[in-house]
Chain A
Amino acid sequence: MNALTKKDFESNQDVRWCPGCGDYAILAQIQKVLPTLGIPREDFAFISGIGCSSRFPYYMETYGMHSIHGRAPAIATGLKVSRPELSVWVVTGDGDALAIGGNHFIHAMRRNIGLKIILLNNRIYGLTKGQYSPTSEFGKKTKTTPLGSIDRPFSPVSLALGAGATFVARSVDVEQEHLNGVLRRAAEHKGTAFVEIFQNCNIFNDGAYGFLTDKNVKAETRVLLEHGKPLLFGKDRNKGLRLRGLKPEVVTVGENGVTEADLLVHDERDPHGVVSYLLTQLDRPDFPVPLGVFRCVDAPSYEELNADLEQAARAAKGRGELAKLLNSGETWVIT
């Protein structure tokens, strides 16, 4: 087999996102990562729901389904349980996954089914032309909230952790190298891998992540999570996160006797995940926004456990025979 390339994963369909949409960069990164995974192209399936991000499968030269609003994790679950050998990806958005599809989203995490769930979070409804979403900021003015939103947003990564996800990560559409690394980690994870990608909607919510992507400020507004390393950030790499009990604070190394040894060291494998959860709650303006892998722990996947159950049933009872089944229970013969 010839080595696969990015080109092999591009379908013949014209990509129809708005010019300048962050989705293009994400599509490109996924098309770059897949050929490097050593998986035959025919073993990939991309399942999506409804929304701008959910057009994704049409642009991938893999098996795929553009389904109905919010239901992609449920459809993907049926596919993955039936065909565990496939690499099944769900591409979703903040409305699709967190509003109409919230239930399927959390239950996928809870079961640890082997899906890669990629959430393109632009904090707005794009396809319906600019209503606020479950991740829009409090007070945001949109077509449906002309006086400002009174909904409190939730954090997709916090929600995923709360639902018991074994892999939770976050990246940004324009940070190609970082995004590439996070996607690869997700692809290699066993069980549900959840990746939130901050994605700019340049039509209805342009600049939503400017504070994170603007070259002049991004060093101060983000902190990169690296397993086993202290949480350092800032232009001069001298700011850090320290825990006082369970209370995080931003400190400057070299001031007030603070040394690097005082900083929180990131542990994505912490079995309890308390600190990981705490990190998912950090937000501006008081804290830098964490990017990277919050949590990555090993646990049996749902499809593995299911296969074990079926195997155990066969081991205990022998492979079922239809005639025997039909003739089971209490029978009687009429002559």
Chain B
Amino acid sequence: MTAFDGVSESAQGEAGSDCGRARAAQALSRIRRVEELESVVIRFAGDSGDGMQLTGAEFSKSVAKAGHDFATHPDFPSEIRAPSGTLFGVSGYQIQYSSRPVFTSGDAPDVLVAMNPAALKVNLADLKPGGMIIANTGAFTESNLHKAGYASNPLEDGSLERYRLYRIDIGGLTAVALRDSGLSKKEVGRCKNYFALGLMLWLYSRPLEKEVDDIRRKFAHKPEIAEANVTALRAGYAYADATEMFPAAYQVRKADVRPGKYRSVTGNQALALAAVAASELSGLKLFLGSYPITPASDILHELAALKHFNVTTFQAEDEIAGICSAIGAAYGGVLGLTTTSGPGMALKTEALGLAVMLELPLVVVNVQRGGPSTGLPTKVEQSDLLQAVYGRNGECPVAVLAANSPADCFDATLEAFRIAVKYMTPVILLSDGGIANATEPWLIPDVASLPKVEVKFRTEPEGYKVYARDDNLARAWVRPGTPRMEHRVGGLEKDFLTGNVSHDPVNHQRMVEIRAAKVARIARDIPPTVIEGDADAELLVLGWGSTYGAIAQAREFARQQGKKVAQVHLRHLNPFPPDLGEVLGRYRRILVPEMNLGQLSRLVRSRYLVAPVELHKVQGKPFKVSEIYDKIVELC
């Protein structure tokens, strides 16, 4: 068994002191051995109150600034403060960073930081064989072991001998470092995540001072907490350095990423930024009508803080009022947006039908989560695709798009607004709980390079017919307040030209067909399908949404094993790209991995009469690269 007992007297006494730091610095120059790694996957796990999301996010920021490519996966319970020490209260944050392009947050962690027995129990199965465990020994009390269902202490009973186990009393050492801080026991307890962060920054050769600046900025309103966190951070760093318990520190070489200015974004942030961009690019006010729902609420939070732009946010009384207020705003001539997740999407269905009938531009964002019903509110799934494409009464076509990564939410959202105003149609944009909260580096675009969102209002009363159409089959957008163009719209079937109520049988068929043709016509704007990997392969992996990274990585691994694999990842799900049928026809086999029971497969099968091999995962977790890779190998 490889284990290192981390609570030595000297370290306890000096970890936080200046003297300790000076000695640590000396020691560093003397004995530190740095091993180069190509990539590393780290998972921070603890109680929901342990601050693991923050620790993970801070670590990500640190590696981002160093020019690494990275991807993260936060995984937290739906309880706000689950009882401490319980299995269901475990919160985790995984990051993969690398010197090569990173597609996912990684299948299996190389390192697990376990802040208590429950965190160890929940996450151990994912850890790589021989992986590193950093266990917060102080939390391995009898009571916590019992809550996690351990009959004996795994840190001592030999059950972890396949791993490299580091026992460190993170809580206790933090308390020692902060014994003179004057903070309460509870406040001191909250600083231990920074000790853990300090430890990891040393282990992965990350600079400390940037993080110190960060803490002071973040806690500027509570200087004594800021200093305590700084002390804990330094203590963790110095401790790792001074104890010589780690045989080496590690370093990941800088990735070869595209030059430019970057920031890290979550999917929800990127989506909010793009909504503001659509407003600025079109010159129209953005109106967001929304009701809080996990995991979409952050979009509302982000935009509510941006009222110094031309942005109105409205927290509606319910999901229905969220979309209805956005429809009212769109009728008023502004950009209407509503954001939600599955259950809210179900409630918006009737109003979405109204928007189809009114032929007004509207963007509806569904940040999908595990379903049905309340399902798994904080977990990832992509099982609302058929709902998006078909889920309304009547023949009720809407455009459906999907984002494939956090940063991609920016482009996908701009595309949604562009389509909505060009074709006077509602557009559903599918994101998911994985994309929404995960972060990745985003190459900040130059505003001048962004696609246009062109809007023209009709103001010419002469010859105006409410449902007369342009070449895109879009009717004219007329703002109330325009003289001599007063008109009525509504959910009853409309005359194809005047827009007056019509129950004429032939007119109804005509309107049903026109609405379908209009949405189909959006395909004219879709660029030729991009085939990644080996275009001449026999196997095509077809996907949509947040599975992009896992598929791309699996394809890359397969290629390294000498297998030919092509990949197509769809942005447009309704209508499909015009060349998709022809592209699918080129491949002998098509594999469609989805976090549902085969919804895209069903769509392409019925549309193109192809017979894809389906790969399903509905566990509230993203695909592991290996799960897709194994299937690829089986098929080639």
Residues of chain A at the chain B interface (Cβ within 8 Å) = 11, 13, 40-43, 45, 47, 50, 57-58, 60-68, 71, 74-83, 85-86, 103-104, 107, 306, 309-310, 313-314, 316-320, 322-323, 325-335
Residues of B within 8 A of A80 (CB): 328
Q: B260 near A334 (CB under 8 angstroms)? A: yes
Could you say which of B262, B280, B285, B329 contacts A79, with CB atoms under 8 Å apart? Answer: B329
Shortest distance from the beta carbon of A310 to any chain B beta carbon, whole Å: 5
Q: B447 near A62 (CB under 8 angstroms)? A: no
Tally of contact residues, B, Cβ under 8 A: 69
Q: A74 near B308 (CB under 8 angstroms)? A: no
Q: A306 near B480 (CB under 8 angstroms)? A: no
Residues of B within 8 A of A320 (CB): 276, 306, 308-310
Q: Please report whether the interface of chain B is mostly helix, strand, loop or mixed according to DSSP.
A: mixed
Q: B480 near A74 (CB under 8 angstroms)? A: no
Chain B minimum-CB-distance residue to A310 = B307
- Total residue contacts A-B, CB cutoff 8 A: 200
How far is B492's CA from A9's CA once the two chains are assembled, in angstroms?
22
How far is B311's CA from A176's CA once the two chains are assembled, in angstroms?
43
Q: A65 near B263 (CB under 8 angstroms)? A: no
Residues of B within 8 A of A329 (CB): 263-264
Q: B444 near A326 (CB under 8 angstroms)? A: yes
Q: A81-B314, A86-B480 are in contact. Are A103 and B260 (CB under 8 A)?
A: no
Q: B308 near A331 (CB under 8 angstroms)? A: no
Q: A75 near B325 (CB under 8 angstroms)? A: yes
Residues of chain B at the chain A interface (Cβ within 8 Å) = 61, 64-65, 67, 257-264, 273, 276-277, 280-281, 285, 287, 289, 306-312, 314, 316-318, 320-321, 324-334, 336, 350-351, 353-354, 358, 444-445, 447, 479-492, 500-501
Residues of B within 8 A of A306 (CB): 312
Q: B321 near A327 (CB under 8 angstroms)? A: no
> Can you name 26 A-B residue pairings with CB atoms under 8 Å?
A42-B486, A45-B480, A58-B500, A63-B480, A63-B488, A64-B486, A64-B488, A65-B328, A66-B489, A66-B491, A74-B325, A74-B328, A77-B325, A78-B289, A78-B327, A79-B328, A82-B285, A313-B307, A320-B310, A322-B309, A330-B65, A332-B67, A332-B262, A333-B262, A334-B259, A335-B259
Q: B67 near A67 (CB under 8 angstroms)? A: no
Residues of A within 8 A of B262 (CB): 331-334
Residues of B within 8 A of A313 (CB): 307-308
Shortest distance from the beta carbon of A170 to any chain B beta carbon, whole Å: 25
How far is B489's CA from A65's CA once the two chains are assembled, in angstroms?
5
Q: B333 near A58 (CB under 8 angstroms)? A: no
Chain A minimum-CB-distance residue to B214 = A330
Q: B358 near A65 (CB under 8 angstroms)? A: yes
Chain B minimum-CB-distance residue to A40 = B483
Chain B minimum-CB-distance residue to A70 = B320
Q: B488 near A319 (CB under 8 angstroms)? A: no
Further contacts, 15 of them, CB under 8 A, given A64-B486, A82-B312: A42-B480, A58-B500, A63-B480, A63-B481, A64-B490, A74-B317, A77-B325, A78-B331, A81-B325, A85-B481, A107-B317, A325-B309, A326-B277, A328-B263, A334-B262
Q: B325 near A322 (CB under 8 angstroms)? A: no
Could you say which of A41, A71, A325 contacts B320, with CB atoms under 8 Å apart? Answer: A71
Q: B260 near A75 (CB under 8 angstroms)? A: no
Could you say which of A41, A325, A327 contacts B306, with CB atoms under 8 Å apart? Answer: A325
How far is B257's CA from A334's CA once the two chains are assembled, in angstroms?
7
How far is B307's CA from A26's CA once the two chains are assembled, in angstroms?
41
Could you say which of A71, A82, A322 contacts B277, with CB atoms under 8 Å apart? Answer: A322
Shortest distance from the beta carbon of A218 to any chain B beta carbon, whole Å: 36
Chain A minimum-CB-distance residue to B256 = A334
Residues of B within 8 A of A62 (CB): 486
Q: A67 near B490 (CB under 8 angstroms)? A: yes
Residues of B within 8 A of A309 (CB): 307
Q: A82 near B328 (CB under 8 angstroms)? A: yes
Q: A57 near B287 (CB under 8 angstroms)? A: no
Q: B488 near A317 (CB under 8 angstroms)? A: no
Q: B318 near A42 (CB under 8 angstroms)? A: no
Q: B259 near A78 (CB under 8 angstroms)? A: no
